[in-house]
Amino acid sequence: MSRRKTINERRLTRRQVQELIASGARPRPDLAATFEQTFSTGYKEQPLVYELEGERYLFVFDPADQRTGGKGDIYPADFFHRFVRWTARVSEDYRHGRASSVGHWAHYSARKQQLIGDVDTLIKQLRATMARTPNDLDLSYRSLDAVSEFVETLGIERAQQELYDQLVAYVGEVLRSRLQGRWELNRNDPQPYPYIVAAEHDPIMPISVVWEQLSGLEPVNLRAAAANEVRRTRKPAVNGNAPPLRSRWPTR
């Protein structure tokens, strides 16, 4: 995981893990199976999972691992279940060739390269689904917080299945309008995909913003991801001159 969310401050020793297990921890092989991984050498990594009292879960590293085997961490239940779902999604995407942003979007997208022509319709659909007015979802950066909260409430899995194109359209239109850019279609890729062209920026990828947030472990934050995409694509200043103010990330 990118950031530790453990209840324990330091990783549990093998002795501490065994004491917890002996105190009545309930084995959860159904959850542990999600973390199993077979390597090209044929070695199969098999960590263990136990359910503890107080809505906690004990994750035990594969006992066969010489370095960390038998050691463990304790996670709160809500985060651990999120971790299980995330691990399952990542494994499934990898097995089916959906490890890239474009590949992932193309699998779930109903519009694909037709998305550019349907941006207004898709945004209207998102507003209707969220039961929000144009004033609520006004294409401001701040409105991305409301969209993020809705995705969290709806659930990542449903958002992938039902709203992928709508989210790409909304994020893209927020970026396009603020950076005075335009939509374009990359036809040179095996899977054509839409992106945003704006002055002082390399191609801007709303697909990557949405994919990152739907594929991540942390709570959805489209606003922060969009800000990162703007920074990532901003071209270096020429002759020491800063880019125009219109391409800078506004405060609201």
- Counting beta carbons within 10 angstroms of the beta carbon of residue 242, is it exposed (0 to 12), middle (13 to 18) or buried (19 or more)? exposed
For residue 50, the SS3 value is: strand
Q: Write out pLDDT tens, residues 120-129.
A: 999 999 999 9
Which one of 62, 95, 128 terminates a domain? Answer: 95
Q: Which domain holds residue 20?
A: 14-95
Pair 38, 82 in one domain = yes
Pair 136, 178 in one domain = yes
pLDDT of residue 84: 94
Q: Which residues contact 162 (CB under 8 A, 6 or more apart)?
A: 129, 154
Q: Answer with the residue of higher pLDDT: 242 or 20.
A: 20
pLDDT of residue 91: 86
Is the pLDDT at 242 greater than 60? The verdict is: no
Pair 235, 216 in one domain = yes
Pair 149, 32 in one domain = no
Which one of 95, 113, 134 terminates a domain? Answer: 95
pLDDT, mean over the chain: 91
Is the pLDDT at 9 greater than 50? The verdict is: yes
**Residue 62 domain-assigned (yes or no):** yes
Q: Write out pLDDT tens, residues 57-76.
A: 999 999 999 899 999 999 99
Buried b (16+ CB within 10 A) or exposed e, 76-109: eeeebebbbebbebeeebeeeebeebbbbbbebb
Pair 112, 57 in one domain = no
For residues 17-27, give the mean pLDDT: 96
In the beta sheet, which residues pair with residue 182?
A: 197
Q: Write out pLDDT tens, residues 188-197.
A: 999 999 999 9
**Residue 6 domain-assigned (yes or no):** no
The answer to whether 172 and 66 have CB atoms below 8 angstroms apart is: no
Domain count, the chain: 2
pLDDT bucket at 93, cuts 50 / 70 / 90: confident
For residues 220-247, give the mean pLDDT: 78
**Residue 1 domain-assigned (yes or no):** no
pLDDT bucket at 182, cuts 50 / 70 / 90: very high
For residues 86-98, give the mean pLDDT: 83
Q: What is the CATH number of the domain that holds 228?
A: 1.20.120.1090
pLDDT of residue 39: 86
Which one of 69, 95, 121 terminates a domain? Answer: 95
Is the pLDDT at 231 greater than 70? The verdict is: yes
Pair 198, 79 in one domain = no
Pair 53, 129 in one domain = no
